Amino acid sequence: MRIYLDANAGAPLRPEARAAMLDVLDGPAANPASAHREGVRARGILEDARRTVAGALGARPAEILFTSGATEANNLALRGTLAAAGPARGLVVGAIEHASVLETAHGLARDGVAVRVVPVDAAGRMAPDDVAAACDARTALVSIGVANGEVGVIAPVAEIARAVRPRGVPVHSDAAQAVGRIPVDVHALGADLVSLSSHKLGGPAGVGALWVRPGTPLRALATGGPQERGHRAGTEPVAAIAGFAAAAAAATAEESRVGPRLAALRDRLWAGLRARVPDVLLHGPADGPRLPNTLNVGFPGCAGESLLVLLDLAGVAVSLGSACAAGSPEPSHVLRAMGLGPEAARGGLRLSLGPQSTTADVDAVIDLLPGLVAQVRRAAA
């Protein structure tokens, strides 16, 4: 039986999500915009899901826009806000944001947007004062994610929002890796736009959402219909959205119980590797605010790609960083931003636990990795 330690790339489908999807798929076909009985049923399922997802964030249903995932939500937040801001505009982002934020920022820069990137320290932490200092009269949006999916560091988004509020700058935060793992309340967060993803929660891939604070200027990217309050045209995938909502409800309901258990497993994994693997390095914060399920480690003299392949052959699924960067020859931009050299940044191994992870899984990896590291180091010598 395989051991799955790649929950940050995609969590296994929850039974609640599967059941909710099948209930829709086994029912009558209908477009939720249709006025007949079947359409009204589909619309009811869609709006029930909207209420559930809103509840997971402490939001109101009318503030939730469904998207194809957090990547689209991030694009809509950045491009839609900047488009609504007019020609004299600027954007501030963090150096360790997900590629869907950073690549979007780079694209906006090519279109003439003034983009500033805020650095982080060696643990991936960011100072709110640095974010505020990066803002100027042109800044139309700040985008800082709640939690980094590679190293697990949690950003001080609430403090950042307070620091930039006197300038009247809205804040967007990618919460895809945070919701269901740590408490996320949009009002406590202080942000104006918040993105989330279904498949990080154990829902289906291909669906996500963007929370938009009322009054936040946002221009639609996809046009052609009135769906999602005119912000995102296209017929909503009702079955996927129902599965997303079921997963969000299950994940947030168990968060206070599962989070401490995963944190204990993460610490057990790190303690075991530190005791048994010479020179193992921890990437990211050793304490303080961090995701309970995420551990990123490096083994000097050991290629990360080789370890990943050997672990896979041994029945263990891990990753080298964000799944959206998989296959890229470039070193992790997150680890590079934290000060690691190119070789070390290619060797960061991310082990991300999920609700299904057990002590036996962790102990098996602790037993397996020392020999694999020694094998790769011998081959490289």
Measured between alpha carbons, how far is 82 from 32 in angstroms, rounded to an integer? 30
Long-range contacts of 109-117 (CB under 8 A, 24+ apart): 112/87, 113/82, 113/89, 114/89, 114/90, 114/138, 115/90, 115/91, 116/90, 116/91, 116/92, 117/92, 117/93
Phi, psi of 268 (to 5 degrees): -65, -40
Contact 175, 195 (CB under 8 A): yes
The reply to whether 324 belongs to the active site is yes
**Angle, alpha carbons 59-215-193 (nearest 5°):** 50
Give the pairing type, strands 114-118 and 139-143: unpaired
Query: Which residue is catalytic, options 13, 324, 364, 374?
Result: 324
Sort 379 into a burial class: Cβ within 10 Å, 0-12 / 13-18 / 19+: exposed
Which sign, positive or negative, has the C-alpha torsion 60, 61, 64, 68?
Answer: positive
Distance in angstroms (rounded) separating the CA atoms of residues 256 and 242 = 23
Run of H or E residues at 210: strand 208-212
Residues forming the active site = 324
